[in-house]
Amino acid sequence: MKTVVIAIGGNSLIRDAQHMSVPDQYAAVVETACHITDLLEQRYRIVITHGNGPQVGFILLRSEHSRGILHQVPLDSIVADTQGALGYQIQQALENEFRRRGLKKSVATVVTQTLVDRNDPAFAKPSKPIGQFYAREEAEDRMRVEKWTMVEDAGRGWRRVVASPKPVSIIEAEVVRHLVKDGYVVIAAGGGGIPVVADEKGNLRGTAAVIDKDLASAILAKAISADMLVVATSVEKVCLNYGKPNEQALDVMTAAEATRYMAEGHFQPGSMLPKVQACLQFIEGGGREALITCPPALSAALAGKTGTRIVC
């Protein structure tokens, strides 16, 4: 029985600006749960990871509106909050679908920490924007009082930026491995994992950072010896010249081809590029193959009928 790590995006739970509430997000989760359950019926062991970008933004906005009334919530705690909330939704949707289909399966959500190097150069150059936009006066106040790093986005105002260090390891990887081996569907490494650093004695503490969930998913997949990493996104296949008249959908990419396509600028940062990078990291770390496709096509893609495979 093959073990598959499936990474789903936090943005995929937000259909549009009119459907951003918790019930709206849950409705999107239910759809994804149906597609994942199809794979369980094909006898795959499954680990689910997920993004949390929009959900972190919502919590930051609530925190901003309660400024002066309640304490500020540290970013690492916000990531933990979203792991619990989104894990709860995914877990409930899956269990309801299992019940509907008569499947004897259980789901476990693991609050997951991701170790990053405290000397990672990213900490010296924060670049990942989070939260809302501020006027100059407000931004100067946040930088002075909260010690935030903020940058100006011409025409929209100032925004907080935090470090985006590379994930080193998943602290709870062995827990995930054992749960999968025992037959559980596992939800882990939500939002790329709660970012933590270690001191000289190995003691962990949270840090203000954002970890790419696809890269963290690749680290987790390698750590648990998964057979495949699946990155679920908004398109069925990876394309060269995306959005142009000469757009070309890819069925298969070798690692060498993917590297060349990245160098040629075919994949955009913050969009397809980190997904391809994560797949490459998994393959180069000893993984057998990786797959990029959209949630509705998961079953067909794993059967080799669609999606883009990345192989050695």
Q: Are strands 248-249 and 3-8 parallel, antiparallel or unpaired?
A: unpaired
Report pLDDT digits (tens) over 264-297.
999 988 789 999 999 999 999 999 999 999 999 9
Average confidence (pLDDT) over 42-49? 95
Average confidence (pLDDT) over 102-109? 95
**Residue 134 reports pLDDT greater than 80:** yes
Q: State how far the alpha carbon of 179 is from the alpha carbons of 39, 107, 267, 297, in Å.
A: 18, 9, 35, 26
What is the spatial distance between Cα 135 and Cα 97, in angstroms, rounded to a whole number? 46
**Residue 18 reports pLDDT greater than 80:** no
Average confidence (pLDDT) over 141-146? 89
What is the spatial distance between Cα 211 and Cα 74, in angstroms, rounded to a whole number? 15
Residue type for 201, please?
Answer: K
How far from the centroid of its chain's Cα atoms is residue 176's Cα?
Answer: 16
DSSP state of 190: G
Per DSSP, what are the bridge partners of residue 128? 162
pLDDT band at 225 (very low <50, low <70, confident <90, very high): very high
**Residue 190 reports pLDDT greater than 80:** yes
What is the spatial distance between Cα 105 and Cα 257, in angstroms, rounded to a whole number? 39
Please give the backbone phi and psi of residue 165, each rounded to the nearest 5 degrees, phi first.
-70, 160
Percent share of the chain, pLDDT over 70: 99
pTM of the model: 0.93
pLDDT of res. 38 = 94
CATH numbers and ranges of domains, the chain: 1-117+168-226 (3.40.1160.10), 126-162 (no CATH), 239-312 (no CATH)
How far from the centroid of its chain's Cα atoms is residue 194's Cα?
Answer: 12
How high is the mean pLDDT of the chain? 93
pLDDT of res. 155 = 79
**Helix, coil or strand: residue 135:** coil
**Residue 59 reports pLDDT greater than 80:** yes
Q: How many angstroms separate the first and last alpha carbons of the chain?
A: 22
pLDDT of res. 219 = 97
Residue with tokens 């989104």: 86
What is the spatial distance between Cα 18 and Cα 16, in angstroms, rounded to a whole number? 5
Residues with catalytic roles: 10-11, 128, 213, 275
pLDDT of res. 10 = 73
pLDDT of res. 153 = 81
